[in-house]
Structure 1
Amino acid sequence: MSTVVLIGATSGIGRRVAERLAADGHRLILVGRDPARAVALAKKLPDAIVMAADVSVSGGVEQVAAALAGDERIDVLINNAGVMTPTYQESAEGVELNLAVHHLAPWRTVALLGPLVPPGGRIVNVNSEGHRSPMRGGVVRLEPERLADGPGEFDPFLTYSRSKLANLLFTYELQRRRPDWNVVAVHPGMVRTDLGRQFPRLQVAAIHAFALSTHKGAEPIIQLATAAEASTGYYNRFNKVRSSPISYDEDLARRVWSTTEHLATA
């Protein structure tokens, strides 16, 4: 069975993915931000390695990398950590939180854990159809030399969408730079999680009325992490589809990568 590192494992979709992969006999290294949830998951899955780390900051990713320094290989790396906030928030390093969690964290995770991923290894980035357009409509664009929105530019849905577009550009650029890996991005569907818990209750309830269960949301991630036939690219749940036209802009992706490298190592 495979060795799987799952970032964002202690609640919602991530927890369901962890439970299913554990039941299938995979060796798991599970990472979540909340220490209490990490303890609860460790009790539920005693054979897994579970750690609490805040991957929105470089120190959290470095903590994960240090804990895995003795490992020989990682077969699958799943970047699932997510956030959505109604107001502008920053990581402890002063980076807008959506960008820090959805884009900088996967970039750093791959940079530090990549040496343990052999040829044929798989990277699964949990993305969103929101990369095409925010919930309120409109077009998603990026300024590649200035990725993070400031307080005056923050819009909860557009900022979220920009961070997911940045992650998708990273996904494609990573595949170009590491053609020996299998790199995929997946929209798991609109899922009933606590991701939007800071939003007004009625607004969340209206969205959840049409959303999938966390069990359903976990299914495409599990398939892409474990199925031999899963090919590189972007998936809307189980179907490989074309992502937004701008996501295929290779020059934009290279410039985003350069800016990300500066942000991640500053």
Structure 2
Amino acid sequence: MSTIVVVGATSGIGRRVAEGLAEGGHRLFLVGRDPDRVRALRKRLPMATVIAADVATTAGVEQVAEHVANAGQIDVLVNNAGVMTPTRQESADGVELNLAVHHLAPWSTVALLAPLIPAGGRVVNVNSEGHRSPMRGGFVRIDPERLADGPASFDPFLTYSRSKLANLLFSYELQRRRPDWNVVAVHPGVVRTDLGRQFPRWQVAAITALALPARKGAEPIIRLATGDEPPTGYYDRFSKVRSSPLSYDEELARRVWVATEELAGLRITGTQL
């Protein structure tokens, strides 16, 4: 039995991940933002500790850390929270929401929980093939001097892709700096969830017409979190594949790391340069 923290566990893929891990008998700390969904998950999985917290904010991540402080150790951390918005929005901390949820939240969660993750522990970051190219086509680049898209540069699909590229650069750099951990990023497939609920229905229908059900999207995440073979690198569902060429740029990753430290106001302990 492992102790596992799942961030973004109250709906869609995350809820299916939580249910699958519960069936495996693991000790679970499950995090969600919506109070109603948190209450529903507590009823569904009474053996788990379900935490209401908005990890897009520093205060929310601190809430999570407080709840798991006495866990002893965390064997697996799954960063699954996701968002996609048609217009630019900001977190309560004033950070563009895609960057806050997909990059700063995993960074900050790792930073505050790092003392509890032992050698051999796993960090599973749910990523996306969108890190390669936005839905409308084109290239994804990232400027470490300006991680968050401002109003003039915001595009719902490109901004989403940039935040996923930032998360992937972080995943690789974290593995380099914490070689005693197993860090993995995974694209779970194109999955039918409510991630795009703020978009027009016709647009969501066009995207999800051939999408997988949430339970299928959860399967590779569960395997990477609990499988016998410790994973590292990037996975497209169950297959380890090469990510975009830019994601392997170590100098870019280092610069994004430094910029993120400044933006989050947190350092990840135990990292090696």
CA distance in 2: counterparts of 1:138 and 1:208, whole angstroms? 21
AA matched with 2:39: V
Structure-to-structure mapping, 1:1-266, within 5 angstroms: 1-265=1-265
Letter in 2 for 1:114: A
CA distance, structure 2, for counterparts of residue 191 and residue 251 of structure 1: 33
SS at 1:91 equivalent: coil
Per-residue deviation, 1:117? 0.4
Q: For 1:122-150, what per-residue CA distance to the aligned partner results, in whole angstroms no more than 9, with x for missing partners?
A: 00000000000000000000001210000
1:66 shift after superposition: 1.0
Counterpart-to-counterpart distance in 2, 1:11 and 1:231 = 25
Instruction: In structure 2, give the amino acid aligned to 1:100.
Output: A
Query: What CA distance in whole angstroms lies between the structure 1 residues aligned with 2:155 and 2:146?
Result: 16
Tell me, what secondary structure is at the counterpart of 2:141? coil
Q: Distance in 1 between matches of 2:184 and 2:145?
A: 25
- Provide structure 2 residue ranges, at least 5 long, that are not aligned to the other structure: 267-273
Figure out how many residues of one structure are paired with residues of the other and give that number.
Answer: 266
Specify the SS of the correspondent of 1:218: helix
- For residues 213 and 190 of structure 2, the distance between their equivalents in structure 1, rounded to whole angstroms, comes to 9
For residues 18 and 65 of structure 2, the distance between their equivalents in structure 1, rounded to whole angstroms, comes to 19
How far did 1:69 drift? 1.4
Amino acid aligned to 1:119: A
Shift in Å at residue 230 of structure 1? Answer: 3.8
Q: CA deviation at 1:201?
A: 0.5
Q: What is the Cα deviation at residue 206 of structure 1?
A: 1.5
Counterpart residue number, 2:270: none
Q: 1:148, 1:207 → 2: CA distance? A: 25
SS at match of 2:93: coil
Unaligned runs of 5+ in 1: none
Matches of 1:69 and 1:82, distance apart in 2: 24
Q: Using the alignment, how far apart are the partners of 1:202 and 1:132 within structure 2?
A: 24
Q: TM-score, normalised by structure 2?
A: 0.96
Percent of residue pairs bearing the same amino acid type: 77
Task: State the shift of 1:67 in Å.
Answer: 1.2
Query: C-alpha distance in 1, partners of 2:148/2:240?
Result: 29
| Distance in 2, Cα, partners of 1:58 & 1:15 | 23
Cα distance in 2 for partners of 1:250, 1:153 equals 25
String of CA shifts for 1:209-259, please: whole Å, max 9, x gaps: 110000100000001000121421000000000000000000100100000
Distance 1:70 1:192 in 2: 36
User: Hey, what's the Cα distance between the residues in 1 that align with 2:231 and 2:204?
Assistant: 34
Query: Runs ≥4 in structure 1, deviation > 4 angstroms?
Result: none
CA-based RMSD of the aligned residues comes to 0.8
